[in-house]
Amino acid sequence: MQIGTVADKTGISAKAIRYYESIGLIAAAARTHSGYRVYGDHDVQTLRFIQRARGLGFSVGEVADLLALWRDSERRSAQVKALAANHVAEIDRKIAGLRGMRETLTYLMERCHGDDRPECPILDALGTDA
Protein backbone atom coordinates (compact mmCIF):
# COMPACT_ATOMS: atom_id res chain seq x y z
CA MET A 1 0.00 0.00 0.00
CA GLN A 2 1.26 3.48 -0.78
CA ILE A 3 0.92 6.45 1.50
CA GLY A 4 -2.01 7.89 -0.45
CA THR A 5 -4.05 4.74 0.04
CA VAL A 6 -3.28 4.78 3.75
CA ALA A 7 -4.29 8.42 3.88
CA ASP A 8 -7.63 7.55 2.30
CA LYS A 9 -8.19 4.62 4.63
CA THR A 10 -7.35 6.46 7.80
CA GLY A 11 -8.43 9.97 7.04
CA ILE A 12 -4.96 11.18 8.02
CA SER A 13 -3.24 13.20 5.32
CA ALA A 14 -0.11 11.86 3.66
CA LYS A 15 1.66 14.93 4.96
CA ALA A 16 0.65 14.14 8.51
CA ILE A 17 1.71 10.51 8.16
CA ARG A 18 5.17 11.61 7.04
CA TYR A 19 5.22 14.07 9.89
CA TYR A 20 4.37 11.34 12.39
CA GLU A 21 7.20 9.30 10.99
CA SER A 22 9.59 12.23 11.19
CA ILE A 23 8.91 12.78 14.89
CA GLY A 24 9.08 9.08 15.67
CA LEU A 25 5.43 8.58 16.56
CA ILE A 26 5.30 5.77 14.04
CA ALA A 27 8.19 3.63 12.83
CA ALA A 28 9.84 4.49 9.53
CA ALA A 29 7.98 2.75 6.74
CA ALA A 30 9.66 0.26 4.43
CA ARG A 31 10.47 1.58 0.97
CA THR A 32 10.22 0.33 -2.57
CA HIS A 33 13.38 0.32 -4.66
CA SER A 34 12.38 3.73 -5.91
CA GLY A 35 11.93 5.18 -2.46
CA TYR A 36 8.14 5.06 -2.06
CA ARG A 37 6.89 4.26 1.44
CA VAL A 38 5.11 0.92 1.76
CA TYR A 39 2.48 0.17 4.39
CA GLY A 40 0.51 -2.82 5.59
CA ASP A 41 -2.79 -3.28 7.40
CA HIS A 42 -1.00 -3.13 10.70
CA ASP A 43 0.14 0.40 9.96
CA VAL A 44 -3.39 1.39 9.08
CA GLN A 45 -4.47 0.04 12.46
CA THR A 46 -1.88 2.08 14.27
CA LEU A 47 -2.76 5.22 12.41
CA ARG A 48 -6.44 4.74 13.17
CA PHE A 49 -5.53 4.45 16.83
CA ILE A 50 -3.57 7.67 16.56
CA GLN A 51 -6.38 9.46 14.85
CA ARG A 52 -8.94 8.45 17.43
CA ALA A 53 -6.67 9.46 20.27
CA ARG A 54 -6.00 12.82 18.60
CA GLY A 55 -9.73 13.18 18.11
CA LEU A 56 -10.16 12.87 21.86
CA GLY A 57 -7.78 15.75 22.26
CA PHE A 58 -4.68 13.91 23.40
CA SER A 59 -1.45 15.63 22.41
CA VAL A 60 0.94 13.83 20.12
CA GLY A 61 3.15 13.16 23.12
CA GLU A 62 0.27 11.61 25.02
CA VAL A 63 -0.63 9.56 21.99
CA ALA A 64 2.91 8.17 22.02
CA ASP A 65 2.35 7.09 25.62
CA LEU A 66 -1.00 5.56 24.78
CA LEU A 67 0.49 3.68 21.85
CA ALA A 68 3.20 2.26 24.10
CA LEU A 69 0.59 1.10 26.58
CA TRP A 70 -1.54 -0.32 23.80
CA ARG A 71 1.39 -2.44 22.66
CA ASP A 72 2.39 -3.48 26.14
CA SER A 73 0.46 -6.59 27.13
CA GLU A 74 1.77 -6.21 30.68
CA ARG A 75 0.41 -2.72 31.11
CA ARG A 76 -1.66 -1.84 34.12
CA SER A 77 -5.01 -0.39 33.18
CA ALA A 78 -4.46 2.07 36.04
CA GLN A 79 -1.80 3.78 33.96
CA VAL A 80 -4.13 4.26 31.05
CA LYS A 81 -6.89 5.50 33.30
CA ALA A 82 -4.53 7.97 34.96
CA LEU A 83 -3.50 9.35 31.60
CA ALA A 84 -7.13 9.73 30.64
CA ALA A 85 -7.96 11.34 33.97
CA ASN A 86 -5.22 13.92 33.53
CA HIS A 87 -6.52 14.68 30.13
CA VAL A 88 -10.07 15.08 31.37
CA ALA A 89 -8.78 17.45 34.04
CA GLU A 90 -7.06 19.46 31.33
CA ILE A 91 -10.24 19.53 29.28
CA ASP A 92 -12.14 20.73 32.33
CA ARG A 93 -9.69 23.57 32.79
CA LYS A 94 -10.14 24.61 29.21
CA ILE A 95 -13.92 24.42 29.43
CA ALA A 96 -13.89 26.48 32.60
CA GLY A 97 -11.73 29.13 30.92
CA LEU A 98 -13.98 29.27 27.91
CA ARG A 99 -17.11 29.43 30.02
CA GLY A 100 -15.68 32.37 31.94
CA MET A 101 -15.02 34.23 28.70
CA ARG A 102 -18.40 33.34 27.38
CA GLU A 103 -20.13 34.57 30.46
CA THR A 104 -18.39 37.93 30.45
CA LEU A 105 -19.01 38.39 26.75
CA THR A 106 -22.69 37.54 26.84
CA TYR A 107 -23.14 39.78 29.88
CA LEU A 108 -21.63 42.68 27.96
CA MET A 109 -23.45 41.86 24.76
CA GLU A 110 -26.79 41.92 26.50
CA ARG A 111 -26.05 45.51 27.49
CA CYS A 112 -24.91 46.57 24.04
CA HIS A 113 -27.61 48.04 21.85
CA GLY A 114 -26.05 46.74 18.70
CA ASP A 115 -27.37 49.50 16.49
CA ASP A 116 -26.01 52.54 14.68
CA ARG A 117 -25.05 54.36 17.83
CA PRO A 118 -21.43 54.26 19.01
CA GLU A 119 -22.09 53.65 22.71
CA CYS A 120 -20.89 50.20 23.57
CA PRO A 121 -20.42 48.60 26.98
CA ILE A 122 -18.16 45.97 25.43
CA LEU A 123 -15.56 48.53 24.44
CA ASP A 124 -16.14 50.39 27.69
CA ALA A 125 -15.34 47.28 29.66
CA LEU A 126 -12.17 46.67 27.70
CA GLY A 127 -11.04 50.25 27.92
CA THR A 128 -11.80 51.34 31.45
CA ASP A 129 -9.13 51.98 34.04
CA ALA A 130 -10.94 49.93 36.63
Partner DNA sequence: ATAGGCCTTCCAGTTACTGGAAGGTCAAGG
Partner DNA sequence: CCTTGACCTTCCAGTAACTGGAAGGCCTAT
Contact 62, 82 (CB under 8 A): no
Residue 3, contacted partner among DNA, a copy of itself, none, CB below 5-8 A by kind = DNA
Can residue 86 be called a binding residue for DNA (CB under 7 A)? no
Q: How far apart are CA 59 and CA 111, in angstroms?
A: 39
Can residue 1 be called a binding residue for a copy of itself (CB under 8 A)? no
Contact 95, 103 (CB under 8 A): no
From residue 56 to residue 85, what is the string marking binding to DNA with x (rule CB under 7 A)? ---xxx------------------------
Instruction: State whether residue 111 is helix, strand or coil.
Output: coil
Q: Kindly tell me which of 51 and 79 has the beta carbon lying closer to DNA.
A: 51
